[in-house]
A and B are shown apart, each in its own frame.
Chain A
Amino acid sequence: MRDKKAQEEVVGFAVVVVLVSVIFVIILGFSMNKPTTQDKQSTDVRQFLESIREVTTDCSLSGSIPANLKELMGACYSRTYCSSGAKACDELNNTMKDILEASYSPSEEAHIKAYIFSIDFETSSSQRENLITQKSGNCSSNSYRESDDFFPYTNGQIFTELRLCY
C-alpha cells in the first residue's frame, strides 16, 4: 500500500515535469520562430539590385548602342523588341538568369540554396504587373535574406526584388 502511494507520487511528479517541459518547448518554439522583417533585409542583396541597373546588355533598342538593364526593363514593360528582333522581355529573362547564376550560383551543396527574383511594374494607382519572375531551387525555408529596389519609369515605378534562401 505504501509502495503504491510512492509510485503514484513519482508518476504525478513525472507528469508535472513532462507538462512543464512541453509548455516550455512550445514557448521556446514560438519565440525562436517569430519572424523579424528587419533581420531579413540584406545590404548585399540591395547593393546587387542597385548595381545591376547599369549593366550593359546585348540588346540594342535604338541604333547600335547597347541598352543597359534599366532600359531593357522599361522596354520589356513597353513590349518592344531589340534591334536583333528578339523580344526585350526574352532578352531581359536571359540576361538576368546569367547574372544571377554568375553572382550566386545556388545549389543544394552551396551556402545559397535557392533564389526568387522578380521585376514588376507598379502604376501610380498601385496596380502591379509582373514582367518577369525567376526561381532556382526550393525557397521554402525560413532562413533567407531579401531586398528590393525601384526606379521611376513613365507613369509608375519598376520594382526589382530578390530573395536568397540559405
Chain B
Amino acid sequence: MKSYPARYSKAQIKIQEMAFVLVAFVVFFVIAGLFYLSLRMSGVRGDVQAQSESDAQELIRTLAETPELRWSSTASDCEGCIDMDKAILLKDDKLKIFSELWNVDRLSLEIIYPEKNGECSSVNYPECGEITLLNKSTSYKLYGSFVSLCRLDSSGSRICYLGKIYSSAKELK
C-alpha cells in the first residue's frame, strides 16, 4: 500500500506556528509568575518572622512591667526600668513566680553597658553582668528586649545600666 505524506496548506502551517508561539508565551508567563510569586512569598515569610519577633519582644517587655521586677521607688520615677535589687532576690526562681505563674522556661537579665562580666550572686552583686532568674531546658527560641536595669547605690541614688531581658516560652514561639 502506498503511503502519502501529509500535506499542509500555508494557512495551516501559520496556525501551527501561532499555536507554538502562544504555548511558548503561556509557558514563559507561568514560569515568570512562579518566580515572582516565590520572591513575594519569601518576602512575606520574612515579614511574618519580623512581626512575630517584634510581638515576642513586646511580650517580654511586659515582664519588665510586672510588680515583681518593676522599679517602684516612690522617690524617683523610672518608666520601663527593672529593679536589679528585686531581681537578685528572686534569682533561681526561689518563689516559683516565673515558672508557675508566668509559665516561662527561661528568664535572665544581662547588663550591656557599661560592660560587666559574670553571673550575679549575693556575694559579687552588683559587680557582675548577668542575673539568671530561671533556666529550665527548653526547645523554644530565646528572645531579648532592651531595658534599663537599675539599682540603688550606697548613697541612695539610682544607678541605671543599659541591659537586656531574655526569655523563652511557649507563648513566644
Contact = CB atoms under 8 A, between A and B. Distances in A.
Partners in one complex: yes
Interface of A: 9, 13, 17, 20-21, 24, 28, 32, 39, 42-44, 47-48, 50-56, 64-66, 68, 98-99, 102-103
Identify whether the interface residues of A are mostly helix, strand, loop, or mixed.
Answer: helix
Contacts of B39: 28, 32
Interface in B19-76: 21, 24-25, 28, 32, 36, 39, 43, 47, 50, 53-54, 57-58, 61
Contacts of A50: 80, 146
A150 B24 CA distance: 58
Given A28-B36, A98-B113, A51 B17 contact: no
Given A17-B24, A47-B147, 10 more contacts: A28-B39, A44-B54, A47-B146, A48-B146, A52-B148, A53-B148, A54-B148, A98-B113, A99-B162, A102-B115
Contacts of B123: none
Contact of A56 (B112, B147, B160): B160
Given A20-B28, A102-B115, A103-B112, A47 B61 contact: yes
Given A55-B160, A56-B161, A68-B160, A44 B81 contact: no
Nearest to A43: B54
Contacts of A44: 54, 57, 145-146
Contacts of A20: 25, 28
Identify whether the interface residues of B are mostly helix, strand, loop, or mixed.
Answer: mixed
Nearest to B58: A43
A43 B78 CA distance: 20
B78 A54 contact: yes
Contact of B157 (A43, A54, A55, A65): A65
B158 interface: yes
25 contacts: A13-B21, A17-B24, A20-B25, A28-B39, A39-B47, A39-B50, A43-B54, A44-B145, A44-B146, A47-B57, A47-B147, A48-B146, A51-B80, A51-B147, A51-B148, A54-B81, A54-B148, A54-B150, A55-B113, A56-B158, A56-B160, A65-B157, A102-B113, A102-B115, A103-B146
